[in-house]
Structure 1
Amino acid sequence: MTPLDITRSIDIKAPVEKVWAAITEPDLIAQWFGDTAEFDATPGASGAFGWRDHGGAFRIVVEHVDKPKTLVYRWARDFDVDPTPANSTVVRFDLTATEDGTRLDLLETGFEELADPQGAQSGNTEGWLAELGELVEFVESR
């Protein structure tokens, strides 16, 4: 890991299958992560996450899936461009069953390859704090 990597662990009072659905099914993703989602949890599949307030969609490519434990995708930092190592980061979700539900571990890497590594990492750190809070609220309220 590098100092720029983002790591987060959260506990969600819901079974792994319910959390997995929330991070892999487009209609559910769009209820906690942005406004729109095109997503297929298949390695090599392309998709996008959209935010109306930001005026565009961030394209993604799914890199690894081990249902219902691990999801890895690469997402572009700029709107409407295909992700490449020079313009994107890699997000990894690992889900583990716990006595009270699910532990979600998030790891985002690849910031050092970007034009503004510190700015991108700072922005995404704040973003994940908000988005993961929304994920917990969404899953636990369903």
Structure 2
Amino acid sequence: MATLDITRTIDIKAAPEKVWAALTESDLISQWFGDTCELDPTPGGAGRFGWTAHGADFRVVVEHVDKPKTLVYRWARESGVDPVQGNSTLVRFDLTEIDGGTRLNLVETGFDDLPDPESARADNTGGWTAELAELVEFVERA
């Protein structure tokens, strides 16, 4: 693993299928991750995540799906561009059933290939801290 990768592990008091739905269904994603979402959660599927505060939509391409265990997508660092290596990072979610719920492991890679790797990693580190807290709150109360 590269030094700039982001890794997070959280336990969620909900079944893996419920967490999977929150990661893959557009209407649910937009309730915890950004303000708007369109996602086709199939290999090669496209999508976008929107944040009103940033005034932007960030495009996504799904790279791997193993329902309901693994979701991998590439998302662009800049608004309005297709994600490719060098302008995007790769996000991987792995779900494991545990007593009382689901363990979610997140790994985001590819920062080393960006023009502003340290800044991008810092932005996303703070972002994932907030967004994963919102995911836990959303899934556990729903």
Please give the TM-score of this superposition, normalised by the length of structure 1.
0.99
Aligned to 2:56: 56
Rounded Cα–Cα distance in structure 1 between residues aligned with 2:139 and 2:16: 11
Rounded Cα–Cα distance in structure 2 between residues aligned with 1:86 and 1:128: 21
Share of identical aligned residues, percent? 68
Aligned to 2:126: 126
Rounded Cα–Cα distance in structure 1 between residues aligned with 2:123 and 2:56: 17
User: For this pair of structures, how many residues does the alignment match?
Assistant: 142
Runs of 4+ in 1 over 4 A off after TM superposition: none
Rounded Cα–Cα distance in structure 2 between residues aligned with 1:106 and 1:70: 10
Rounded Cα–Cα distance in structure 1 between residues aligned with 2:30 and 2:116: 28
Unaligned runs of 5+ in 1: none
Q: After superposition, where does 1:1-142 map in structure 2 within 5 Å? A: 1-142=1-142
Q: How far does residue 67 in structure 1 lie from its aligned partner after superposition?
A: 0.0
Rounded Cα–Cα distance in structure 2 between residues aligned with 1:61 and 1:67: 17
Please give the TM-score of this superposition, normalised by the length of structure 2.
0.99
Rounded Cα–Cα distance in structure 2 between residues aligned with 1:56 and 1:119: 18
Rounded Cα–Cα distance in structure 1 between residues aligned with 2:119 and 2:53: 19
Rounded Cα–Cα distance in structure 2 between residues aligned with 1:4 and 1:91: 13
Q: How far does residue 40 in structure 1 lie from its aligned partner after superposition?
A: 1.0
Rounded Cα–Cα distance in structure 2 between residues aligned with 1:100 and 1:51: 32
